[in-house]
A and B are shown apart, each in its own frame.
Chain A
Amino acid sequence: MKILIYSAVFLLMPFIFAGIINNVKSFWAGRQGPPLLQPFFDFVKFLKKGRVISVTSGGIFAAAPVAGAAAALIASLVVPVSGSGSLFSFGGDFIFFAYILALGKFFMIASSMETGSSFEGMGASREAFFSALVEPSFFIIFASLSAFSGHLSFSGIMNFIRTGEPLMTAIIILCSASLYVTLLTEGCRVPVDDPNTHLELTMIHEVMVLDNSGPDMALINYASWLKMTMFSVLISGIIIDPATGAGISLAITLLIIITAAIATGCIESMFARLRMTHVPQFLLLTASIAVAVLSIAVLVIFGGLK
């Protein structure tokens, strides 16, 4: 049952997530949206195609799409889905989660540098820098919560966060906001990156994969959607009270995933991508959130604040 829920959430939902974003964007543009499962059909279509490989590239370029998709899948093993718990949970699994995602990123950056293209180098450089900015916030938030709760694992932390108390509500709001910004960064979405842009100079993620095609592209796209789904599942884990029944929390989880997708689509329709120089400022927003979470933890533990 658990494995069933897991495969449904992490193998199927990413496609729906992407489908919802596309439909929301179509709605705002006044167009008739594509079918909800169009990303899945695209995935299959890409798998059926052959590849065009750059003569400059080598082994890492060949390995990176597999490494990227596998890293995202491995990371999803430790993400708890509310109502069913995580497939595999151990102390410090959130550290593992962040580092295994970084492993996929490492391969993707090295792979796009391997093509010897100036544009892909540009994307790689930005990707490396922006993720380095987001990572400390993720750690400060989860390390504070983990030290606060005395649990080293995702599920321990999420069981600790209960709704109802005002400070806990503050933590929930701050964490969700920070995780959502991370979702936008990892998923390469507006305002950090614009997946629809046609100018290579302003791309980040899209420009890194200019030379990938066929099944490799399918894996890369899937990894990106999976990461967004994973982060929205994390948000739902933070929001849902641990006392909620299994069936209801599963329903809420799905609802939150869908809401996150709709929100992403809305943001993408209503805002433009930030100027490249302003992106670090936007990302450092997560750092201030992290400091806020840390100070709440300090106040509660040592200041006797309730």
Chain B
Amino acid sequence: MHNYTAGIILFLCAGFIPSILPSKFKSPAYLAVLFAGAVFSLLGLLPFLFSGSLESMTFSGPPLFGDFKFALNPVSAFFALIITVSGAAGMLYAEGHLKGYSANKGIKGHYVLISLLISSMLALVMCRNVFAFMMAWELMSLASFFLVMFEGEKEDVFKAGINYFIIMHIGAFLIGAGFVIGALKAGSFDIGAISVMVRGDEKTAGIIFLLLAAGFAVKAGLMPFHTWLPRAHPAAPSHVSGMMSGIMIKMGIFGILLAVSITGFPELRICYIMLALSVISAVLGIIYAAGESDMKKILAYSSVENIGIIMAGFSLGFIFKNYGNVYAAVFMFAGAFLHALFHSFFKELLFFGAGAVYQNTHTRNIEELGGLSKKMKATAYLFFCGALAITAMPFFSGFISEFLIYAGIITGAKTNGPVLFTAAIMSAGAVSLTGGLAIIAFTRLYSVIFSGSSRSEKTDAASETNGLSLAAMYFLAFMCLAGGVLPQYFFKAVSAPVSYLLDGAHTADAFAVIQGLLKSISFVLALGASVIAAVYLIRKISLRGKKDESSETWGCGYQKSSARVQYTADSFSEPLSAVSRSVTGKYEDLEKPKGVLPKKAFYGSGLSDVIESFFAACINRFTGRFFGSLANVQSGNMQHYILYGLIFLLAAFVYAMAVK
């Protein structure tokens, strides 16, 4: 516990180093403190994660809010692990990436904000007092808001930042409301006390769970609350979007699990609604990811998809638990936890790769890129690894977590009745559909950025990114590969959280089975590696002594090939968009040529976020109708206005008389 606290403080200190120390020692000192922070934090949290030990610290807080209790349990230690490992990788990358921004005057403050974001999240997971929790939560939201606003002088960044700020506070309002109801009921701000009081009262528990879950879902980016993600991520600098997408949205998941630990497992109806929202998030998220052409927007939508998969895992786990099938619930929870961990690795890797590309080309529009694998070889291969991991390809980590989710769905499907069976199997179908669509989205993203030849002059000056950024990406790629090849060791990190979530139910059998499955996957992958080696050798032997001829790409006889004939990102996803357009909606921007000698014409089209436009339309219609009815008051007739005055005076008179 003390190690962990020391880790938080060290993480916080790291951010202040660039402001204090002269620039000569800045970088090594920053890295040293960062590394020390990560080590202390790991030392502190690992005992909670592996042995399930529980320990708490209490400080006396302000009299109104009771004592500030801090405690770690396996679930919070698990999220602390995500924050520590991916946070350290993110801060390492930031050190390299920010060299490109050294002219920006806010850079010192930016370092402070980064470390504030990480340490506030580390503190958040151990808060057991509502007041302290909300403070840490606000600190996290505000730090990330200012980080998004790093280039706030740009109009689109500013707009996205404000949008993020407002939506975060709608979420915080819901969370606060849920906690306050609980606190009033319990007469205490202690989360443990609230939990004890609330569990007896089913109705209040239901309301509190809904409020908390909705509020945390805003942070997690679950549809229909996802609209801030595709705006804020492109606006923020890449190390920030990487950390927000890899780590911060997981705090939403942590929050939902916290809500579960307060109110108990949600009732079935709510579970099914959560499942439906998660599946919609997963499928629609990846459809948008396959259709967008802003590379960070693509990654943001893919986060929506992955959050959908994680939450689908948890929701089905809750459902199985509700029906008493702990065995299947273990699979689901293990898969969901692992996916949260792995997602933080590969999503950061992809965002960092995108950041390296952006820094070299100053464009996020993938239609203007191409051919970068020759200029940024290491970045290209690392990005490819990230793409393989996020599409759940065997040998990489994403496969393991999705495998457990599938296995859990199948084991638990027969638990209750036909409704559950159909819902479970169709969810498996939906997850596999997202898998197939993810292949479209990520082969497209990788290929259009890195393959072929350049589509515009913006890539001319591109060169390999700096060593520190690459080091962070190598580390993350290593974690992606390790998680895929040796999953049994990563599973150990999630077994205690799963048991804790299931409240001491018998989980040993399921754990043994899962370990067995993961070991067989590991074995078959080793076998697979030797098959790959054999095939490679066959080709190598047959190519021995021959020299490859090189020539232009075959253009069906046409000799003057140009980069402009390449398939574009838009045409690559056209078959899918043609089908999905009926669901997703589409916007078209058309400026027709005018006159005899037209000067300018423009056509643009893209996907429009159907959920956002639906909600915006609903709110607009409601407010429009409400304020429209108020407009009748203003008739423009002087007699009416005098009448209003008289009515008001009369009412005031009656009120005064009545009160007396």
Question: How far, in whole Å, are A128 and B551 apart by their CA atoms in the complex?
Answer: 27
- Which of B391, B433, B547, B574 neighbours the largest number of chain A CB atoms within 10 Å of its CB? B433
In this assembly, does A235 line the interface, its C-beta being within 8 Å of a C-beta of chain B?
no
Closest 3 A/B residue pairs (Cβ): A121-B567, A132-B436, A116-B452
- Interface of B: prevailing SS: helix
Complex Cα gap A219–B541 (Å): 13
Is the pair B576, A147 in contact by a Cβ cutoff of 8 Å? Answer: no
Could you say which of B394, B534, B549 has the most chain A C-beta atoms within 10 Å of its C-beta?
B394
A56-81 interface (Cβ within 8 A of B) = 56-60, 65-67, 69-70, 73-74, 77-78
Q: In the complex, A124→B453 CA distance in Å? A: 17
Complex contact B528–A74 (CB within 8 A):
yes
CA distance A114 to B534 in the complex (A): 25
Within the complex, the shortest CB–CB distance from B396 to chain A, in Å, comes to: 9
Contacts of B446 in A (CB 8 A): 110
B421 and A143 within 8 A (CB): no
If the complex has contacts A95-B406, A99-B393, A143-B413, are A116 and B535 also in contact, measured as CB distance less than 8 A? no
What is the CA–CA distance of A70 and B536 in the complex, to the nearest angstrom?
Answer: 9
Q: Flag if B556 contacts A119 (CB, 8 Å).
A: yes
Determine if A70 and B547 form an interchain contact, defined as CB atoms under 8 angstroms apart: no
| Contact (Cβ within 8 A) A103 B553 | no
- Number of B residues near A (Cβ < 8 Å) is 88
- A interface, by DSSP: helix, strand, loop or mixed? helix
B436 touches A70 (CB 8 A): no
Decide yes or no: A92 and B403 within 8 Å by CB, A99-B394, A125-B575, A132-B439 being known contacts. yes
Contact A140/B535 with A116-B451, A125-B567, A152-B407 known, Cβ cut-off 8 Å: no
Please tell me the size bucket of the interface on A.
35 or more
A140 contacts B425, C-beta separation under 8 Å: yes
A115 at interface by CB-CB < 8 Å = yes
Indicate with 1 or 0, residue by residue over A116-143, a CB within 8 angstroms of chain B CB atoms: 1111111011101101111111111001
Pick out which of these stretches binds chain A: B504-512, B517-525, B624-632. Answer: B517-525
Which residue of A has the minimal Cβ distance to B417?
A302
Judged by a CB distance under 8 angstroms, whether A270 is at the interface is: no
Judge whether B546 is part of the interface by a CB distance below 8 angstroms: yes
Give Cα distance in the complex from A118 to B574, angstroms.
14
Q: Is the CB of A55 closer than 8 A to any CB of chain B?
A: yes
> Nearest Cβ in chain A — how far from B305, in angstroms?
14
In contact, B403 and A125 (Cβ under 8 angstroms): no
Contacts A88-B524, A143-B410 known; A298 to B579 CB distance under 8 Å?
A: no
A138 to B436, CA, bound (A): 12
Q: Which chain B residues lie closer than 8 Å to A105 at the CB level?
A: 439
Known: A70-B531, A105-B439. A54 touches B550 (CB 8 A): yes
What are 29 contact pairs spanning A and B, CB under 8 A? A50-B543, A51-B543, A54-B552, A56-B452, A60-B373, A66-B535, A96-B521, A102-B435, A113-B448, A113-B572, A114-B447, A115-B554, A117-B554, A117-B567, A119-B556, A122-B571, A124-B567, A124-B572, A125-B571, A132-B436, A133-B436, A136-B430, A143-B413, A143-B428, A152-B411, A214-B543, A219-B538, A294-B425, A294-B426
A-chain residues with CB within 8 Å of residue B422 when the two chains form the complex: 294, 298
Residues on A lying within 8 angstroms of B by beta carbon are: 47-48, 50-60, 65-67, 69-70, 73-74, 77-78, 88, 90-93, 95-96, 98-100, 102-103, 105-106, 109-110, 113-122, 124-126, 128-129, 131-140, 143-144, 146-148, 150, 152, 200, 210-211, 214-216, 218-219, 280, 290, 294, 297-298, 301-303
| Given A74-B527, A92-B407, A210-B554, residue A69 in contact with residue B425 (CB < 8 A) | no
B543 contacts which chain A residues (CB < 8 A)? 50-51, 214-215
Residue numbers in A under 8 Å from B373 (CB-CB): 58-60, 114
Nearest A-chain residue to B547, judged by Cβ: A50
Separation in Å of the A138 CB from the closest CB of chain B?
A: 7
Alpha-carbon separation in the docked complex, A152 to B575 (Å): 34
Give the distance in Å from the alpha carbon of A219 to the alpha carbon of B531 in the complex. 13
Chain B residues with CB below 8 A from A294, complex form: 422, 425-426
CB within 8 Å of A: which B371-426 residues: 371, 373-374, 381, 384, 388, 391-395, 399, 403, 406-407, 409-411, 413-414, 417-418, 421-422, 424-426
Taking the closest CB of chain A, its distance from the CB of B533, in whole angstroms, is 9
The answer on a CB contact under 8 Å between B539 and A215 is yes
Q: Is B200 positioned at the interface, with any CB of A under 8 Å from its CB?
A: no
**Contacts A50-B546, A58-B374, A90-B517; is A116 near B553 (CB within 8 Å)?**
yes
B443:A124 contact, CB within 8 angstroms: yes
CB of A96 within 8 A of CB of B517, answer no
